Amino acid sequence: MAIKRDAADINFSKCVRIRDKVCQRCGKGENLECAHIYGRSKKSTRWSMDNAVALCHWCHRHYTSNPIQFHDDLLKLLGEGHMAILREKSNGIMKTNKLLRAEISKHYRNELKQIEVDPDHCVISYN
């Protein structure tokens, strides 16, 4: 069953793609997608900037079919410490509702506006 995307997901995805600028696997800058390290069903990390990387469409599909390689490459890219903290964070429980999702969407919309004003702005994660 597909997980529905809403404005929070869309604005978060834009921030990830702008932050990374290029595919974190092959370096291409076209057709970028937001690839979650821990899937979107994990609400505790769903909108965390440390839980996503930009990948081109082809690399995203490749890693979806090769999750062990994705994990191994993420260890090299992000480091064991980052992955350990993220693993612990992903085990947390976060309940969402319409109001919280609107707040998350607004946060990332504001981050996108900051980037328009200052392209060097470092996106601040919602959680």
Q: What is the pLDDT of residues 60-104, one digit of tens each?
A: 999 999 999 999 999 999 999 999 999 999 999 999 999 999 999
What would the two tokens of residue 39 be? 């899937």
Question: Mean pLDDT of all residues in the chain?
Answer: 96
CA torsion 23-4-126-39 (nearest 10°) is -60
Domain edges within the chain: 7-116
User: Which residue type sits at 92?
Assistant: G
Please check the confidence at residue 44 and state whether its pLDDT lies above 70: yes
Query: Which pLDDT score is estimated for 1?
Result: 57
Residue 47's alpha-carbon distances to 39, 66, 89, 118, in angstroms, are 10, 23, 12, 22
Average pLDDT over residues 26-49: 97
Average pLDDT over residues 47-60: 98
Residue 3 binned pLDDT confidence (cut-offs 50, 70, 90): confident
Helix (H) or strand (E) holding 87: helix 80-90
Query: Which pLDDT score is estimated for 4?
Result: 81
* 3-state class (DSSP) for residue 1: coil
Using a 10 angstrom Cβ sphere, with 0-12 exposed, 13-18 middle and 19 or more buried, the burial of residue 8 is: buried
Question: What is the pTM for the complete model shown?
Answer: 0.93
Percentage with pLDDT > 90 across the chain = 95
